[in-house]
Structure formats: structure tokens, C-alpha cells
Amino acid sequence: MEMTANEKWISVHPIVLSMIAALGLTVKPEQIRCEKFEAASKHYLVRMGLFKVLQIVSAINIVEHEAAGRFIPITQIRTSDELTKFITEMIPLLHLESEQAKTLGYIVSELVRNVLEHAEAEHGAILCAQYYKKSNSIRIGIADTGLGIKKTMNRSWPATTDLEAIQLALTPGITGTTRREGGTEQNAGAGLFFIKSIASVNRDFFVIYSGNGFYKLLKKNPTKRLSLNADPFKDRHSIDDAMPYWQGTLVGVDITLDQTAEFSMLLKVIRETYSMAVKERKKAAFKKPRFI
């Protein structure tokens, strides 16, 4: 693995850092070749813990400041208990208001649990987050190098492409663990739909990438009335089904803090959309009369 960067600047979304770290963990540290970075912002990679996670020497010296309130460095989570510890200890460090902490905790918990339960990823979930003062937003990136969405969906659903699998995974009530409505005792198939809904209601950025498939929820016009869609392809979005193959899944979410909707209000809308989706799916499965 070879790491290079622009000579003048380094500016990366946390999803990219998580992606590099996740990829780096699949090879031995001695197989990673890292060029001498010249950009003034090279320290950022050290501060986010990239070289530490990959166990390689960076040759970049920095004076470390307190991380509290600004970022969550690259973190590897492999067990359910590690996740609970992470949410309990790390998220309060960002000094968010109660509603915002709830939203962030919710997103991290559901996304990381997806990895731990479905991805069969040897290295678990890799995540990091950054607070941006100018836009008053938090950007989060979560990566794994596990089975990928298509393989996990194909356990119960016949998705033929990665993009089709992503569409299914974002639809409420669809889980790779069963075709049964309501899911299994441990899985409902609602996690990703909730995350996409949080991003959609807050008019935020949301991206998911697995295999060759890529889905991006586009920001909504603030003057337009908000509505949630059970089918992610009915939301304003962009897609690509010919991306370079990523073995596993990547998710990126931006939360703009000053417009984070009251979480309980958001849940009311989610409830209505979810209920409608289940009813429609049930109705679609009804036998139809035969007219001859």
C-alpha cells in the first residue's frame, strides 16, 4: 500500500481517513509505504491518529493539544462492549448539546453495530469524526473491509448489483437476516433507513459506498417541504454503479448542528414513513383476483 498526498494541501473528509485506515489494516505495517508529506496541513493526519493505527512512523513532529471538542481520532471498534464504551466516553468529549449528542450517538451506534453484526470484518469498524467551526457541523466516516452490503443482503434478498443491494439496505424493514416482516428478534432492517432519515430531515450529507455501488443523498432545498421516502431512489440523490471496487462498506454523514431537528420530532416522521412502507409491502404481497 502506498500513501501519497498533494504537495500543497491535505483536506480529507473523515470517511476518507477511515477508508485509508481500514485498507491499511488489511496489510502488514512493513507493506505500507508512505511518502514524506510536504503539505502544511500534514499534521492533521498525525492528530487523527492515522500513523498510530497503522503502526507506521510518520516523521512528522507535532505538539498535541487537547482533542476535546474538536475531533474523534481514528478508532477501531471490534466488539459490542467497545462500542458502548466508545459512545459513553468519546461523544461527551465533543461538548455537544443534549439533542446533538443524541443524534451523533444514535448514528455511531447503529452504523457500528451494523458492521459488528453483519459485515464479518476481521478488523471491525473504523471510524473518526471532525467538528468544523465554520459550518458548525460534525462529519463522520465509518469504514469496514467485511463482506459488503450485497453479500449480506443476498442471504435473504436477490440483489444482483451492489447498487440494488444498497437500495434494499436503505429501505425500512428490509434486512439481510430474514425476509420476514418485522425482522428477527435482533434485527429489524431499520438502522440505515433511520440514519438516512436523520440526514434527510436535517438536510445533511449522507453517502454509502459498497462494492462498485455508490449512493449519495443530495442536500434538499431549505425552502422545500420536508418529506421522507421509504425508497432511497425517490429522495434527491446521485448514484454510481461503476466505482472502483471497495471490499466492505463505507458510510459518511455530516450533521449541521445549528439545524439539527428535535430528535423526537424527527422520529414522528420516521414512524409514519416506516408504517406506510410496511403497509405497502404487505399490500403488494396480497394475492390479486384473476379476471378472465
Partner 1 sequence: MKTIVIFNRAGAFAENKDTARDIRLKEIIPAFESHEDVILDFERVDAATQSFIHALISDLLRKYGSETLDRISFKSCNDTVQQIIRIVVDYMQEG
Report the sign of the C-alpha dihedral through residues 171, 175, 180, 181, in that order. negative
Which lies closer to partner 1 via its Cβ, residue 132 or residue 263?
263
Q: Does 160 bind partner 1 (CB under 8 A)?
A: no
257 C-beta neighbours (distance < 10 Å), count: 19
Residues in 207-266 at the binding interface with partner 1, rule: CB under 8 A = 263-264
Q: Does 185 bind partner 1 (CB under 8 A)?
A: yes
Please select the residue that binds partner 1; options are 84, 161, 227, 238, rule is CB under 8 A. 84
Which lies closer to partner 1 via its Cβ, residue 58 or residue 175?
175
Residues forming beta bridges with residue 3, ordered by sequence position: 34
Please select the residue that binds partner 1; options are 28, 180, 234, 236, rule is CB under 8 A. 180
120 Cβ contact list (under 8 Å, min separation 6): 146, 147
Which lies closer to partner 1 via its Cβ, residue 138 or residue 190?
190
Return the DSSP state at 291. P
User: Is 20 in contact with 50 (CB distance < 8 Å)?
Assistant: yes
Q: Does 72 bind partner 1 (CB under 8 A)?
A: no
Q: String of b and e for 108-146 (b: at least 16 CB within 10 Å)?
A: bbbbbbbbbbbbebebbbbbbbbbeeeeebbbbbbbbbb
263 Cβ contact list (under 8 Å, min separation 6): 99, 102, 103, 106
Please select the residue that binds partner 1; options are 14, 146, 148, 173, rule is CB under 8 A. 173
Which lies closer to partner 1 via its Cβ, residue 80 or residue 259?
80
Q: Please give the size of the binding site for partner 1, defined by CB under 8 A.
A: 37
- Residues interacting with partner 1, by CB under 8 A? 80-81, 83-84, 87-88, 98, 102, 105-106, 109-110, 113, 172-173, 180-183, 185-188, 190-191, 194, 263-264, 267-268, 270-271, 274-275, 278-279, 282
